[in-house]
Amino acid sequence: MAQLPLRDAERLQDYIYKATARAQHFIGYPIAQDFDYSELFPLLKLPLNNVGDPLIESTYDVNSRSLECEVLEFFAGLFKAPVNNWWGYVTNGGSEGNLYGLYVARELYSNGIVYYSESTHYSVQKNIQLLNLRSIVIRTQPNGEMDYDDLREMISMHRDQPVIILANIGTTMTEAKDDLKSIQGIFRELAIKNHYIHCDAALAGVYSALLDLQPGFDFSHGCDSLAISGHKFIGSPIPCGLVLVKKNYKERIGKVIPYIGTADTTISGSRNGHSPVFLWYAIKKLGSEGLKQRAIEALAIAEYAVDRLCRLGIKAWRNPDALTIVLPDPPREISVKWQLASEGGFSHIICMPGVSKEKIDQFLYELEATMEVAV
């Protein structure tokens, strides 16, 4: 292969240097930073493509289907999917997983109405528009959780229509979790027979399930499908995720495509074959106990960070068992350097794996210095 011209080679090295430097100040987004997949580098020479259904072999045989199936089995167990009645695939991220869940719900209930809170991820509204679904936005409580009184009122006004719930298991800004038990109580109270619950568990789903945090949200608690992100808690150099759905619901979708020798049951055609290998590697290397310990350590850092912020006189807070800490917007130079996400006068830091106590201390030192200058 030809080499890069000198000017372009220098441009690439400059970019690598800057990207590496910026990654050292990265606490505002839910991305794990402590992964090491160097053992998998040889696979970057291969065009791994998991086109089509992961559970059906394809004539495109340069794939990672066998590893993807093991990843799916691990998460099906973690999320208590019904035995012999689950299906899923590794996606490009949580947004695609949410799209798939809503797609299945639409095929079940073409006249259904989607109910989701105002704290829901921005991609959900886009997905609803793509699927041409009707929807109603529900108010939220101060912590970002769905307002169940408002949900009850809205559903009661449309009792003759099937209900499709988009439940958040970790909202974007405050990591609030919607309570499936409360939602199902409303179904019983209003005698709603036709309903579907999809859980957007992109942020908090994996570690909540590992530690059995409340409120429960998995299949045993009433969800019909759920989506997680792989690059958040577990960590991956490529954004990825996973969707799981009850198999009898999924079978309404898809058809066999002869030239790839498998069924077209996913949102995308060609699918990245490297991401399933990253997830498989992390799961096998750490195991369930290692992943649990990873979650416990991250939660301890979050507790440390919110305590230190409050000692500085900053009105910081977090939801129960959350890695996300909400605080008033700091000075712009701090937000830019540390890449903090901000909305409505508030920012957050997220203590994902790889965010160390030393990194939190450095952030607090710089934040406190700006406070002293302001005084």
CB distance 353 to 298 below 8 Å: yes
Phi, psi dihedrals of residue 155, rounded to the nearest 5°: -65, -40
Helical spans, DSSP H, in 262-353: 275-311, 332-338
The answer to whether residue 173 sits within a structural domain is yes
**250 and 303 within one domain:** no
**359 and 329 within one domain:** yes
Q: Could you tell me which residues are beta bridge partners of residue 75? A: none
Return the CATH number at 297.
3.90.1150.10
**136 and 61 within one domain:** yes
The pairing of beta strand 346-350 with beta strand 113-117: unpaired
Domain count, the chain: 2
**251 and 319 within one domain:** no
The answer to whether residue 1 sits within a structural domain is no
Predicted TM-score (pTM) of this structure: 0.94
For residue 215, say if its preceding peptide bond is cis, omega within 30 degrees of 0.
Answer: yes
CA 205 to chain centre: 7
Three-state SS for 201? Answer: coil
Query: What gap in Å lies between CA 261 and CA 297, rounded to an integer?
Result: 45
Query: What gap in Å lies between CA 297 and CA 351, rounded to an integer?
Result: 10
**161 and 246 within one domain:** yes
CA 225 to chain centre: 13
Per residue of the chain (375 residues), give pLDDT as tens.
789 999 999 999 999 999 999 999 999 999 999 999 999 999 999 999 999 899 988 889 999 999 999 999 999 999 999 999 999 999 999 999 999 999 999 999 999 999 999 999 999 999 999 999 999 999 999 999 999 999 999 999 999 999 999 999 999 999 999 999 999 999 999 999 999 999 999 999 999 999 999 999 999 999 999 999 999 999 999 999 999 999 998 887 765 445 455 567 889 889 999 999 999 999 999 999 999 999 999 999 999 999 999 999 999 999 999 999 999 999 999 999 999 999 999 999 999 999 999 999 999 999 999 876 554
Query: What is the DSSP code string of 282-297?
Result: HHHHHHHHHHHHHHHH
Three-state SS for 316? Answer: coil
Return the CATH number at 101.
3.40.640.10
**What does the CA dihedral 230, 236, 240, 243 come to, rounded to 10 degrees?**
-20
Q: Name residue 85's amino acid.
A: N
**295 and 349 within one domain:** yes
Query: What gap in Å lies between CA 370 and CA 311, rounded to an integer?
Result: 16
Strands (E), 175-323: 195-200, 225-229, 241-246, 255-257, 262-264
Query: What gap in Å lies between CA 205 and CA 215, rounded to an integer?
Result: 11
Residue ending a domain, choose from 241, 268, 283: 283
Q: Which pair of structure tokens corresponds to residue 198?
A: 């999809």
